[in-house]
Structure 1
Amino acid sequence: MSLPLRLLLRQLACFVAVGVTATAMHWCLAVWLVEAWSLPAAAANLAGWVLAFGVSFAGHYTFTFRHAHTDWKRSAWRFFLISVSGFAVNELGYVGLLHTTALPYDLLLALLLVTQAGLTFLVSRLWAFRHSASVPPSQETPS
């Protein structure tokens, strides 16, 4: 197996492990807030996203994309933009589907989170954690 393929498979395995952890924490917190505190599902989803963002960025920066040697501030900014954009789409879809389908809120949330994960990997790999060869990592700025 070639080195680039091994690297990609390792990245995918790390992405799945970090993503499953962050998604599970997102889902568990959101469901707990709805069930234990009677928080509206959309508000609980926001709280879950905030927790998952921290877990996800730390895990992806430390494990999934560690070989990229990117400036953490630039990567954090880019990952935040990806995450907040994904959350906005997720939340709009979630609220719309909560009102237009008979699916239980917890199942609907799980389906949306899994769908979003694949898109997040692609954009993270191609942009958020991409190393800029022309600028030393210590001199990179958010863009």
Structure 2
Amino acid sequence: MRLLELFRLLRFGVVGLLAAVLHYWVVIGLVELLRIQPLQANFGGFAVAFWVSYFGHRYWTFANPDNTGVTASFIRFLAIAVSGFSLNELLFYLFLRYLDLSYYVALGIVVLIVAVMTYVLSRWWAFRLQSISHG
């Protein structure tokens, strides 16, 4: 693995960890303080995490010095995020319903699974430099 790619992976991890922690705590706050059901609270967590992820990845993890292709990368990242959230919500539901896990544990597992998918798609599709330089 090249050094640049290693640093990119580390930056992705920092942004992803921040977004995941915020997602997790927003869900817990909505459930515990406002008594919203976990599956519904998950939407609030996603909304906060989306913006942290987008701006963190756009301007730090996958920074493009030309700052071109912003609209295209936003649309691709939004598609990844919505797909990731759909998978997140499906797995969260299945874990809660069929594995009888606490929502704390289920959400933690699901967030990790979706993070891997998000990195791969973000790196090679949403923020790929080839499309940004033409975008």
TM-score by length of 1: 0.88
Aligned counterpart, 2:58: 61
Aligned counterpart, 1:95: 93
Aligned counterpart, 1:115: 113
1:9 aligns with 2:3: no
Name the amino acid aligned to 2:54. Answer: F
Q: How many angstroms does 1:15 deviate by?
A: 0.2
Distance 1:26 1:10 in 2: 24
Aligned counterpart, 1:85: 83
8 Å CA contact 1:68, 1:130 repeated in 2: no
Q: How many angstroms does 1:68 deviate by?
A: 7.0
Equivalent residue in structure 2 for 1:48, among 45, 49, 62: 45
Segments of 5+ residues of structure 2 without an aligned counterpart are none
Highest CA radius of gyration, 1 or 2? 1
Name the amino acid aligned to 2:42. Answer: N
1:37 aligns with 2:34: yes
8 Å CA contact 1:57, 1:79 repeated in 2: yes
Residues 1:68 and 1:92: Cα distance change in structure 2 (over 3 Å): farther
8 Å CA contact 2:64, 2:129 repeated in 1: no
Matches within 5 A, 1:117-136: 117-132=115-130, 136=133
Distance 1:61 1:116 in 2: 18
TM-score by length of 2: 0.92
Name the amino acid aligned to 1:107. Answer: V
Segments of 5+ residues of structure 1 without an aligned counterpart are none
Distance 1:33 1:108 in 2: 16
8 Å CA contact 2:84, 2:114 repeated in 1: yes
Q: How many angstroms does 1:118 deviate by?
A: 1.0
Distance 1:26 1:72 in 2: 24
**How many residue pairs align between the two structures?**
134
Q: How many angstroms does 1:67 deviate by?
A: 4.0
